[in-house]
Structure 1
């Protein structure tokens, strides 16, 4: 898998988690623990996205 493909996949998952968090927060039955877990996963993805971006050549990012 190329770095660009990996980055696109990570960004897609990050957006999905944003949507899941928004839905969980809007739901009165959502547990705080579940929301916290989703946010933790989102932060981990953000960190992974940054690591991938740092390994990509500058010309690929623009």
Structure 2
């Protein structure tokens, strides 16, 4: 897989997680731990995207 397409896949996943976080924040019964885990995943993806972008 080319680096640019890998980065694009990571960006799509990041966007999907953003939407999931927004939905979780709007849902009154969503546990804080679940929201925190989604945010951690999102941050890891962002860091990976930045790392790969810096090396290309």
Under TM normalisation by the shorter chain, which class is it? over 0.9
Give CA deviations for 1:3-62 in whole Å, capped at 9, x if unaligned: 100110000000000000000000001000000000000000000000110111xxxxxx
Which structure has the greater CA radius of gyration?
1
Number of the residue aligned with 2:15: 15
Unaligned runs of 5+ in 2: none
Please name the residue that 2:30 is paired with: 30
* Large movers: runs of 4+ above 4 Å: none
Where does structure 1 lack aligned partners over 5 or more consecutive residues?
A: 57-62
TM-score by length of 2: 0.97
TM-score, with structure 1 as normaliser: 0.88
Question: CA RMSD, aligned part only?
Answer: 0.4
